[in-house]
Amino acid sequence: MTENRSSKAKIKPPPNYLSRRFQLRLMTMVGSLLLILFLMSEARRPENWKWLFELDKTAQEPAANNEEPPADADTITTSDDDAQIALLNTKGLTDPLDMTLVDGWSRVLRQFAKEEQYALRGLIMSARRKSAATGDANQNATLLSRVDDAWNRFFLRAMVGISEPGSTLTDEEKAEWIQTLDQAKRTWQAELSSLSRYDGHLQLETSDFETLAALQRRLDYLDLNSIEDNTIHRSVEHPAWFRFLEILEHETPDQLATRSVGDISFLQLFNQPDLYRGKLVTVEGRVRLAYRVPARKNDIGVDGYYLFWIQTEDSSDAPIVAYCLDPPAGFPEVPLKTDKNRGLELNEDVQVTGYFFKRWVYPTDQGASVAPLVLAKAPDWQPRAPEPVSDSGVPVGILTLCIVAALAVGVALAWAAYRFSPAQAQPGFVLPSQDEGLPDELPEFEDSAGEAK
């Protein structure tokens, strides 16, 4: 009898499935399983592990208030590398000869129409590139003669300004500037001689190419001064625009990537345009829109651009706009933008290395907006790997999404049951059943005589 009672006392009652404690425990277990499945789904993405390989990279972020110009901004570099374009800075040049020649070119070019300026620049580019001369030889000779006349007028006026009685210059300063003007005049005569020899189909020497390279660098410096942020496309910026395109046409992607200053963020370009103007920068992001537009007539042979509107990690809804000469190999076909076709909406990861030009103003449905503009050869793009498929033929991503959705529904139902079910009283002890505790047999009582009844 005692053993039977002991075995019955060990039987545990079933859990109260409507109790809040049990429902909370169930929700915790389902939520934990949902979190594990989510982490498994994220862990299989390679991009989530890139940070492990970037821990040893030096940060490219400059000081937020750094307004100092680059080290090579005060003088024009003498390197023959086309990519080393002198960077604009507000302090100007410090070398008297460079100051005189840049100022002279700015005054000389203003005396010619835009088409004549383009013709002169085209002649200089062709001579540097050893390509066929652009335009008619007689017209080029006439143009060079007129440019020479303009330079002579510049030298004459500068000499008069130095020598006039009311000048504030000391005799020593006058002597230095007269010497500088004489050097500038000899420099221009050397440049004119090289251009004339080229236009006359004569063989150019090494010294000629060095002279023309120095001339081009001074024009580069002058052209970068014409770029203004927070503006639309301006005709005065065309020489700088096509100069960058000329370099991009003759450089390989590997050469451009080697000279890049590194990965630059949207905020760096937007907040510090003077610091990065004319420099090769690398930006990474996701293409949201792409289309083609035609190009104006030029001597480089560019007939159109591929525009990629790129969203970066730090740009939110503001894009970086990349004007590219070509699309990536194998990239989805990019349509020509028309009134009825605004472009191809995409969601593709790219990396672009190109020259930062300016903060460009472009129209939107809500009004004007501003975006960093980069000129590039072509984006670096890798097609996404195809989605893995399960044994059932369903893509793994879709299968995972279905499982996660089912678990989410389960959690929602459990929460609803927990939220709207009535609270259940938790018993402090268990009452025995009606027959529990009664002996199987009635005990025998002895009477006063000692006999059992």
Most confident among 23-32, 132-141, 327-336 (mean pLDDT): 327-336
Q: Are residues 101 and 197 in the same domain?
A: yes
166 and 285 fall within a common domain? no
* Long-range pairs for 126-135: beta carbons < 8 A, 24 or more residues apart: 126/198, 126/299, 127/194, 127/195, 127/198, 127/204, 127/208, 127/212, 128/209, 128/212, 128/213, 128/216, 129/250, 130/204, 133/198, 133/199, 133/201, 134/299
Q: Which residues, in sequence order, are bridge partners of residue 310?
A: 287, 320
Residue 321 lies in a domain: yes
Say what the pLDDT of residue 411 is.
65
In a shared domain, residues 368 and 283: yes
| CATH code of the domain containing 347 | 2.40.50.140
Using a pLDDT cut of 90, give the percent of the chain over it. Answer: 50
Q: What is the pLDDT of residue 199?
A: 80
Between 421 and 223, residue with greater pLDDT: 223
pLDDT band at 62 (very low <50, low <70, confident <90, very high): very low
Cα 304 from chain centroid (whole Å): 21
Tens-digit pLDDT profile for residues 357-397: 999 999 888 889 999 999 999 999 988 766 555 555 555 55
Considering its fold, how many domains does the chain have in total?
Answer: 2
Q: Mean of the per-residue pLDDT values for the chain?
A: 78
Inside any domain, residue 322:
yes
| CA gap 374, 269 in Å, rounded | 10
Q: Answer yes or no: is 73 within a domain.
A: no
Contact 151, 108 (CB under 8 A): yes
Please report, in angstroms and rounded to a whole number, the separation of the first and last CA atoms in the chain: 22
Q: In the predicted model, is pLDDT for residue 438 greater than 80? A: no
Taking residues 65-86, what's their average pLDDT? 35
Q: Are residues 244 and 373 in the same domain?
A: yes
Give the pLDDT band (50/70/90) at residue 436.
Answer: very low
pLDDT confidence band for 171 (50 / 70 / 90)? confident
DSSP 8-state code for residue 15: P
Judge contact between 291 and 342, C-beta under 8 A: yes
* Structural domain ending residue among the three candidates 353, 381, 409: 381
Amino acid residing at 115: E
Same domain (yes/no): 255, 354? yes
pLDDT digits (tens, 9 = 90+) for 20-49: 777 777 778 877 777 787 777 766 665 555
261/342 same-domain check: yes
User: Could you read off the pLDDT of 245-270 as tens digits, one per residue?
Assistant: 999 999 999 999 999 999 999 999 99
Looking at per-residue pLDDT, the higher value among 118 and 427 belongs to: 118
For 406-417, how does the pLDDT look when each residue is reduced to its tens digit (9 = 90+)?
666 666 666 665
Does a structural domain hold residue 38?
no
- The span from the CA of 221 to the CA of 291, in Å, is 32
Helices and strands counted in the chain (H then E): 12, 6
| Domain end residue (candidates: 351, 381, 411) | 381
Residue 403 is assigned to a structural domain of this protein: no
User: Is residue 234 domain-resident?
Assistant: no
The residue out of 225, 247, 276 marking a domain boundary is 225
H or E, element range at 415: helix 396-420
Q: Given phi > 0 = left and psi -120 to 50 = alpha, else beta, which region is 301?
A: left
The closest of 418, 420, 398 to 410, measured between CA atoms, is 418
Same domain, 247 and 216: no
Euclidean distance between CA atoms 34 and 408, whole angstroms? 8
Higher pLDDT, 40 or 228: 228
Residue with tokens 């100022």: 103
d(CA 15, CA 320): 60
Residues 196 and 245 occupy one common structural domain: no
In this prediction, residue 147 carries a pLDDT of: 97
Q: Give the whole-angstrom CA distance, residue 244 versus residue 238.
A: 10
Same domain for 265 and 213?
Answer: no
- On whether residue 345 sits in a domain, the answer given is yes
Indicate whether 264 and 303 sit together in one domain. Answer: yes
Residues 250 and 365 in one domain: yes
Tell me whether residue 63 is in a domain: no
Domain that includes residue 362, residue range? 239-381
Output the six-digit token pair for 152.
């002579």
Two structure tokens written together for 68: 């100092």
Q: How many CA atoms lie within 13 A of 123 on its CB side?
A: 27
Cβ-Cβ contacts under 8 Å for 319 (sequence gap 6 or more): 288, 309, 310, 311, 371
Task: Tell me the three state secondary structure of residue 372.
Answer: strand
Please give the pLDDT value at position 6. Answer: 54
Are residues 280 and 204 part of one domain?
A: no
